[in-house]
Amino acid sequence: RDVAGLWSVYQDNVYLNEELASQRSYQTMYQDEKNRNEELQEMLEMKGSLPESLQVSCNVLTRPASAWDQSFTISAGSMQGVRENMLAASSEGVVGLVSHVETATSTVELLTSDTLVNDIAISIPLEDGTTVEGILQSYDAQKQAYRVSLFNNEAVITSGQKVSTSGKGGNYPSGIFVGTVTESVVNDDAIISTIYVKPVANISSFNYVTVIGREDSK
């Protein structure tokens, strides 16, 4: 009788564990879909904020584990209007630059890549209504921030200020969010100052991007 009782309890535990595992699986799937839906909703809102630009929405197809911070492949190419040097933006802002285009897919080089070829022209709005412009030149892995050179060394830039594209370089418009200032350094040459900019929060994980270019790039 004791053996039969133990076996019955064992079977009950196996069943309960399977049920719990199934519920956890469903919860994970639900949360994943919820996150994806929120990401898509945020991308729709961003899409509406740039009405005068060429925009192509697509999925992230692959992002190699061995080069997670270097590049990824998207589900749109020349057939959909994608061109080299257009920006790729996640739901929160710029994450990369289109480096290679095929007919139906494209390769995007992340701004965190250590082989980023083209500089990104940026601007920072100031409280007096003016803007200061500069160039995003590279990613500093140690600081986990972009290194940006400013053209105006007298401008007072503080932590927390927002950085966006200026539209004066590359095949993309102005006003696309790039990141947030974390540090400002005045160089000894007193001509150019350097700031460090924290990337958008979801640069390490996103499922969709919008490729953004100028209307005249079609």
Predicted local distance difference test score (pLDDT) of residue 208 = 85
**Cross-strand partners of 184:** 195
- Where is pLDDT greater, at 126 or 199? 199
Phi-psi label, residue 201: left if phi above 0, alpha if psi -120 to 50, beta otherwise: alpha
Predicted local distance difference test score (pLDDT) of residue 142 = 93
Enumerate residues 6+ apart whose C-beta is below 8 A from 26. none
pTM of the model: 0.76
DSSP 2-68: HHHHHHHHHHHHHHHHHHHHHHHHHHHHHHHHHHHHHHHHHHHHHHHT-TTEEEEEEEEEE--GGGT
- The band of 200, judged by pLDDT with boundaries at 50, 70 and 90, is very high
Predicted local distance difference test score (pLDDT) of residue 3 = 46
Q: Where are the domains of the chain?
A: 120-199
- Where is pLDDT greater, at 160 or 129? 160
| Residue-wise pLDDT tens digits, 201-216 | 889 888 889 999 987 6
Write the CATH number of the domain with boundaries 120-199. Answer: 2.40.10.350
User: What is the mean predicted confidence (pLDDT) over 119-140?
Assistant: 90
What is the rounded CA–CA span in Å between residue 166 and residue 123? 5
| Residue-wise pLDDT tens digits, 37-96 | 566 566 666 665 666 788 898 889 999 888 889 999 999 999 999 999 999 999 899 999
| Residue-wise pLDDT tens digits, 133-166 | 999 999 999 999 999 999 887 778 889 999 999 9
Predicted local distance difference test score (pLDDT) of residue 146 = 96
Counting other chains too, the contacts that 176-180 makes at CB distance below 8 Å and 24 or more residues apart are 176/50, 176/87, 176/89, 176/93, 176/94, 176/212, 177/89, 177/92, 177/93, 177/94, 178/93, 178/94, 178/111, 178/120, 178/122, 178/136, 178/146, 179/93, 179/94, 179/145, 179/146
